[in-house]
Amino acid sequence: KATLKKRRRRRETLAEIPFRKLVEKDAELKSLRTQHAGLPAEERRMAAQWALDSAQASMLIAQAANAGDLVHPAWHDAAAPLAIDPEYAPAILTVGSLEYQYGRVDEAMTLFLKLTTLPADTEDLPETIDMAGDFLIDQDDHVNAGQLYAAAVRAYPQVALYQVGLG
C-alpha cells in the first residue's frame, strides 16, 4: 500500500510520457501554459528562456555533484519552457531531442518539423533548425534529417544553410 502511494506521488518523466500528453494532463504544466498565454510574446519568450536556463543549470549542478538521473529529467525541468511558450525554438529543439532519445521518433519529428512553420524572423531559427538536423544526422537518421531540411528549404528557400544541410 505504501509503495502504491509513493508511485502516485512520483512525478512522471518525459522518458515515460510524451510531452504532448504531459501538457494536456498535468496540472502544473496546464497552469504554466494558462499563466503565460495572455502575456506578450516577448515576456513569454523571456520566461521560457529563464526556465530553459534554469533546467540546464540544475542538470549541470547535478552532474557536477554526480547526483540525479540526468538521462531522464523530470518533466517540469525539460517541458516547462515549451509549456510556457509553445513557439520557443530552443525549447522545441530540447524536447524534440529528448523525445527522440526516448524512442518516440514520430513525436520528435512532429516537434522538429514544427520549427519549419515558425516565422522566418524567429530569433536564431536557422541555427536551431540546423542543430535539429545535425542531431538527426548524429543519430544516423539521414532519412528524417533529409525530411527536416527539405521542409526547411520549402518554407525558407532563401536560407542557404538548409540547402547545405539537405546536401
Give start and end residues of each alpha helix (H) in 14-71: 19-25, 27-37, 41-64
> What would the pLDDT profile of 40-75 be if each residue is shown by its tens digit?
989 988 998 888 888 777 777 766 776 554 444 555
Q: How far apart are CA 32 and CA 84, in angstroms?
A: 6
**Residues of the chain above pLDDT 70, percent:** 83
Using DSSP, state whether 94 is helix, strand or coil.
helix
pLDDT of residue 9: 53
Query: φ and ψ at 64, to 5 degrees?
Result: -65, -35
* pTM of the model as a whole: 0.80
Contact 149, 115 (CB under 8 A): no
What is the identity of the amino acid at 154? R
Q: pLDDT for 86-112, tens place per residue? A: 899 999 998 999 899 889 999 999 999
How far apart are the C-alpha atoms of 133 and 112, rounded to whole Å?
A: 9
Per-residue pLDDT tens digits for 112-166: 999 999 999 999 999 999 999 999 999 999 999 999 999 999 999 999 999 999 8
* pLDDT at position 16: 77
All three cell numbers of 137, joined, read 544526422
